[in-house]
């Protein structure tokens, strides 16, 4: 069993490798990023092409939803993107919040931060910044954000409840989040759970849907809704790297186990307890 720190280091290494490649390389090469695990990312990603602010240089195809599409961002908002990667969701959020707003991307992979900053400079965006840090302990003061977005990132974090608690801390009272992530509605085979490649691909690290949503309620969020829910079908050519033919048949006999959900919730406007950071 890997420790939390070992998991973080493994994820950081894999995403550092991906940061040095473009989306086309990840998509076209089975062994892009050093192994066939890149296919796992691609089966979950959705197309951003139709969204204002989309920038192909910032799109590495690593998401599992379109949280910015559902995030209810208004002009002048301060938006924080957790696990900002090369900056894709930040630039889409910037199109919504405009020049009077501010967008902050947080990522703990140095190579991703460098890539995102280069993209922001090329675009000439002075109100988009990127901070390197762990989203379990965010480099942001309390009550800063109007909106938080995140795309297939909390899944990679061992202590998910800590992230939700941090989200609650940095949101302004009355603020909200919209995040896309991978959850389970059944048991994954142990061989998939133990595969590092599947972990970094956001599959092996997934937890039960009800447990995931329970963390949202536990830290104090209100008015939680599921904005989107879709099945993730893992192709046989990926499953065969981890399971026997018999095990694949057994896995596919179950109802869809892996799902992508986009979750929305609000920090209560009248929140005022010392532990929450509201006061």
Residue 236 or 15, more confident: 236
pLDDT of residue 248: 78
CA–CA separation, 267 vs 223, rounded Å?
9
**Cα–Cα distances in Å, from 134 out to 122, 163, 168, 225?**
26, 9, 15, 26
188/112: higher pLDDT: 112
* pLDDT computed for residue 65 by the predictor: 82
- Residue found by looking up tokens 């997934």 in the block: 206
Mean pLDDT of the chain: 80
Say which residue, 22 or 155, is predicted with more confidence.
155
Per-residue confidence band for 28, with pLDDT thresholds at 50, 70 and 90: very low
Instruction: Give me the pLDDT at residue 83, please.
Output: 93
Q: Say what the pLDDT of residue 52 is.
A: 79
**How much is the average pLDDT of 42-46?**
53
Indicate the pLDDT class of residue 29, thresholds 50, 70 and 90: very low
> What digits encode the pLDDT tens for the residues 241-277?
777 888 778 777 777 688 889 999 999 998 654 444 4
Higher-pLDDT residue of 189, 9: 189
* Residue 36 pLDDT: 42
Read off the DSSP letter of residue 256: P
What pLDDT is recorded for position 119?
94
Q: pLDDT at position 42, please?
A: 47
How far, in Å, CA of 247 to CA of 125, rounded?
Answer: 50
pLDDT score of 249: 80
Higher pLDDT, 21 or 103: 103
Q: Where are the domains of the chain?
A: 4-271
Quote the pTM value: 0.82
Q: What is the pLDDT of residues 70-109, one digit of tens each?
A: 999 999 999 999 999 999 999 999 999 999 999 999 998 8
Average pLDDT value for residue range 186-202: 60
Q: DSSP of 127-147, one letter per residue?
A: TEEEEE--TTS-SS-TT-EEE
Cα dist from 167 to 136, 160, 177, 187, 213, whole Å: 9, 11, 8, 28, 14
Percent of the chain with pLDDT over 90: 47
Stretch 205-209: mean pLDDT: 83
| pLDDT score recorded for residue 31 | 30
Q: Quote the tokens at residue 207.
A: 């937890």
Per residue in 106-154, pLDDT tens? 998 899 999 999 999 999 999 999 999 999 999 999 999 999 999 988 8
* More confidently predicted of 19 and 128: 128
- pLDDT attached to residue 196: 47
CATH of domain 4-271: 3.40.50.150
Q: State pLDDT tens for residues 109-119.
A: 899 999 999 99
CA-to-CA separations, 159 to 33, 135, 205, in angstroms, rounded: 26, 10, 11
């Amino acid at each position: 069993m890997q420790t939390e720190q070992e998991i973080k280091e493994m994820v950081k290494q894999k995403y550092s490798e991906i940061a040095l490649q473009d989306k086309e390389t990840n998509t076209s090469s089975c062994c892009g990023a050093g192994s066939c695990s890149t296919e796992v990312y691609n089966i979950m990603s959705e197309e951003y092409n139709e969204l204002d602010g989309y920038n192909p240089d910032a799109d590495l195809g690593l998401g599992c939803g379109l949280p910015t599409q559902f995030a209810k961002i208004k002009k002048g908002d301060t938006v924080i993107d957790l696990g900002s990667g090369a900056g894709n969701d930040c630039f889409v959020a910037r199109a919504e919040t405009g020049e009077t707003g501010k967008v902050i991307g947080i990522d703990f992979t140095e190579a991703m931060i460098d890539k995102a900053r280069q993209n922001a400079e090329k675009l000439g965006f002075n109100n988009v910044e990127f901070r390197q840090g762990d989203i379990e302990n965010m480099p942001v003061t309390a009550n800063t954000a109007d909106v938080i977005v995140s795309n297939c990132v909390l899944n990679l974090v061992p202590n998910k409840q800590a992230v939700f608690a941090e989200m609650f801390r940095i949101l302004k009272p009355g603020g909200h989040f919209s995040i896309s992530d991978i959850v389970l509605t059944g048991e994954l085979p142990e061989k998939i759970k133990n595969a590092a490649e599947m972990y970094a691909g956001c599959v092996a690290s997934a937890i039960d849907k009800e447990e995931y949503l329970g963390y949202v309620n536990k830290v104090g969020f209100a008015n939680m809704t599921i904005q989107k829910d879709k099945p993730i079908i893992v192709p046989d050519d990926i499953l065969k790297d981890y399971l026997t033919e018999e095990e694949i048949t057994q896995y596919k006999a179950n109802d869809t186990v892996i799902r992508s959900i986009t979750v929305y919730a609000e920090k209560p406007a009248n929140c005022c307890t010392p532990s929450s950071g509201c006061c």
